């Protein structure tokens, strides 16, 4: 990831919070110079100072053949993002795209059967909430058998980068006008971007 100093976020806790708030990530790998990518929910755990990511793919997914004992798997997380028009600036300038993104690289290994079931429980129980939640312990044996159709993985992260490109280089007047126009767009993604920009400048 290209990380200019102005947009680089070095706070470890901010990175972990970002990953957990944006769990639907892209897993990227390659085999014989052929790239593969899958969008999957990724769970995040911190063990000491180490970040461990876990996910699973359907067995028929061809990317599974590229992941076992792969030392260089890349996982991309994307946060708020949106178009910023140059018409929102006080002076003429180019338009741009604001965004939040994290890229993490590490070694990928296959989970054994017990580890996979524990990871699926962790994933299910994390997202199932409310009075009618279908937590892992409530699932029938027939449903649990479907776990045989997936392969679980974990990635021990070696390198991580978090980038917030949110118009930090603009004046307060431009910054406020960008936020205002994002709010007025009526687009949910634009509104989320405006929220993140307000947090950053505050």
Query: What tokens does 90 get?
Result: 């006080």
159 domain-assigned: yes
Tell me 75's DSSP state.
E
Q: What is the pLDDT of residue 111?
A: 97
191 domain-assigned: no
93 domain-assigned: yes
9 domain-assigned: yes
199 domain-assigned: no
Domain tally, the chain: 1
Q: What is the pLDDT of residue 146?
A: 80
174 domain-assigned: no
Question: What CATH number did the domain enclosing 59 receive?
Answer: 2.30.110.10
Q: What is the pLDDT of residue 134?
A: 80
Please give the residue range of the domain that contains residue 9. 5-169
pTM for the complete prediction? 0.92
**50 with 157: CB under 8 angstroms?**
yes
201 domain-assigned: no
190 domain-assigned: no
CA distance 132 to 125: 12
Query: What tokens does 155 get?
Result: 């990635």
CA distance 105 to 28: 10
Tell me the backbone φ, ψ of residue 13, rounded to 5 degrees: -65, -35
Encode pLDDT of 118-157 as tens digits. 999 898 889 988 778 787 777 778 877 888 999 999 999 9
């Amino acid at each position: 990831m290209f990380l200019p100093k102005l947009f680089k976020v070095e706070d470890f806790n901010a990175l972990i919070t970002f990953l957990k708030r944006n769990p639907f990530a892209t897993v990227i790998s390659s085999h014989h110079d052929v790239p593969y990518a899958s969008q999957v929910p990724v769970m995040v755990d911190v063990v000491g100072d180490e970040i461990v990511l876990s996910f699973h793919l359907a067995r028929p997914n061809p990317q599974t053949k590229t992941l076992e004992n792969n030392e260089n798997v890349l996982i991309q997380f994307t946060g708020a993002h949106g178009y910023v028009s140059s018409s929102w600036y006080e002076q003429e300038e180019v338009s741009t795209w604001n965004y939040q993104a994290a890229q993490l690289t590490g070694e990928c290994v296959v989970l054994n059967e017990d580890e996979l079931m524990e990871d699926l429980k962790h994933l299910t129980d994390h997202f199932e909430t409310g009075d009618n939640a279908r937590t892992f312990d409530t699932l029938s044996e027939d449903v649990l058998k479907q776990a045989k159709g997936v392969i679980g993985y974990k990635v021990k992260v070696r390198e991580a980068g978090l980038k917030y490109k949110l118009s930090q280089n603009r004046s307060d007047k431009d910054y406020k006008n960008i936020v205002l126009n994002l709010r007025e767009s009526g687009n949910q993604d634009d509104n989320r971007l405006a929220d993140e920009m307000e947090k950053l400048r505050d």
